[in-house]
Amino acid sequence: MSGQRRSRTVPAKRRNPASKGPGERHGLMLILLVVPLVVLAGRMVHLQVFAAPAYAERAADQRTRDIELSPRRGTIFDRDGEPLAVSREARTIYASPRLVEDATATAEALTGVLGGEVSDHTARLQRDSGFVYIARKVDMERAQAVEALGLAGIGQLKDSRRTYPSGELAAQVLGFVGVDDEGLGGLEAHYDELLAGIPGSVLAERDPFGRPIPGGVMHAEEPVHGSDIVISIDRDIQYVAQLELQGAVETWGAKSGSVVVMDPNTGAVLAMASVPGFNPNRFAEVDSSAYRNRAITDVYEPGSTLKAITAAAVIDAGLFDADSSFVLPPTLQVGNRTIKEAHPRPQVEWTLTDIVANSSNVGTVKMGQALGEGPLHEYLTRFGFTARTGIDFPGEAAGYLPAVEQWSATSIANIPFGQGISMTPLQLARALAAIANGGELVTPHLLVDVPGRPDLVVRHSKERVISEEAAAETREVLKASVTEGTGGNAAVEGYEVAGKTGTAQKARTDGRGYAPGKYIASFAGFLPADDPSVLVVVVIDEPSGAIYGGSVAAPVFAEVARFAVSHLKIPPTSSAPLDRSDVETMTGESQP
């Protein structure tokens, strides 16, 4: 149609399915904003509520330093109040590495005063830490020298240093301590809980460079110092015992030796010496075998010193008395064993006193046979040879006595005179003390008192093993061993001495039997014989040139005993004994 507008249909615009309307876009944006906020809020709740304690602890660890303050270790005094182990004022040197300006130069300066290697000090000073130890237990002289250097980042803490004023004196008894003030041997270890005390601490807040923050957290807990203790050791008697023992070991080329000095009435140990010795101020410089308190840790066959106990047993049992007579052949056959004397002799008629004085093996076996296996074992048990003494000291050995059921046909032929049985010198001292004090087995001990601790009462038990009458008669027998027999070199002018020599073969360590040419010489005795106050046991291991207890050990007894009675002001009780020149030939006790 001409002149007529043609109508045109416009198709509808298609909608992109991916496009969003305004409302939808706003909702999506809201979700994208809310979800992170919810996650963040949840994280904040977790950190502030649930994980807060852990993070607070980590933060505190980073900005605070807890430093331990060492307590003063208690002093060990001898029976007269003389200090044997003390703690001197000292310092611990430390560094704050982040404050050190020149690690190498600082290390060189420290080495010049403290010793050690420059490289070791440098390594410590370069650690990524706010605190490192440089040296512990530094004496005051060197600590003051370090302070005078004025080194940046180097500080000091109060400390103490264990020292032993008398050096080697009673070293094995006292023991020693480590760098952390922990007792590592002897009484230092046994009474560590008493001596050590309780450490204190200082808590200080510091910045990231290790510097104290003014007004920061500061908490100080003072240490509780250790308790002092008083022990029974007498410093002067201990010195003489060590001196005489050392001299004997050197004179006779012996392997080692030990001496016990004890009050037989109470069990208090007045001296306990061991050779070889050591200086506890420098304990790391010696072989650890020198640490052994041989009187307590080393067992041996006592040999003829046990004849004193066998004699006491048969007297207490009522079988014999000091004057009982025995016909003794030159040798005695028991099972497949022939018992001999040290020196050949004809048949003799000897009293019980003669048997002990001359240290007769044959006569002692006859006494043992008369007593019988069971009763002999019972008496040896009563005298403490099947148990430790109970002394307050670590590492005590128990010794050995076989049960009766384990005795062979020949056990009765060797146990009565000290073979086939082993003990420590302290066990022998304890047993002999029962004869000395009237028949009671005492408990050897070292601790006497803990000043300032009334809650700690020191008590020691006693147990009767033989009658007073049997003990008194046995003392008379043992006096004859010194005045008339093998113990002549143990005589002390002005005092009656009772005692017994011993010369024992050493048991093999690589099999059964005895080591050829190896002996232990000993002497055990006490004085004044009728009212004993001092008991001394001397044991010399593997002497050469002479082997008999009367020649090797008895002179040591005499010197130690002579000093002890003088030092303790024990009055003389008798006229002068035999001159030494008269007894030189009476030192050979019998051996199988």
Please give the full DSSP string across 337-389, using - where no structure is assigned.
EEE--SS----EEEEHHHHHHTT-HHHHHHHHHHH-HHHHHHHHHHTTTTS--
Q: Which two tokens stand for residue 162?
A: 């264990």
Beta bridge partners of 348: 328
Catalytic one of 256, 304, 359, 522: 304
Pair of tokens at residue 245: 């023992």
| C-alpha to C-alpha distance for 432 and 309, rounded to whole angstroms | 7
C-alpha span between 28 and 34 (Å, rounded): 10
Which of these, 437, 441, 438, lies nearest to 388 by C-alpha position? 441
Q: Characterize the bridge pairing of strands 269-275 and 256-262.
A: antiparallel
Q: Is residue 67 packed enough to be buried (19+ CB in 10 Å), middle (13-18) or exposed (0-12)?
A: middle
Q: Smallest Cα–Cα separation from 353: which of 315, 305, 382, 303?
A: 315
Q: How many Å apart are CA 329 and CA 118, to the nearest integer? A: 78
- Closest-CA residue to 240 (of 536, 444, 524, 498): 536
Residue 524 corresponds to which tokens in the numbers above? 């055990």
Q: What angle do CA 273, 544, 302 make, to 5 degrees?
A: 55
Q: Where are the alpha helices (DSSP H) in 151-261?
A: 171-174, 186-190, 192-196, 235-251
DSSP assignment, residue 67?
E
Q: How far is CA 577 from the centre of its chain?
A: 39
Q: CA 193 to CA 450: how far, in whole Å?
A: 12
- Under the phi-then-psi rule, with left for phi > 0, alpha for psi from -120 to 50, and beta for the rest, what region is 133? beta
**Phi, psi of 547, deg, nearest 5:** -125, -15
Determine whether 201 is an active site residue: no
Q: 428 vs 256, 259, 384, 396, 532, CA distance in Å?
A: 18, 11, 9, 14, 16
Report how far residue 235's alpha carbon sits from residue 409's, in angstroms, rounded to the nearest whole number.
48
Please give the positions annotated as active site: 304
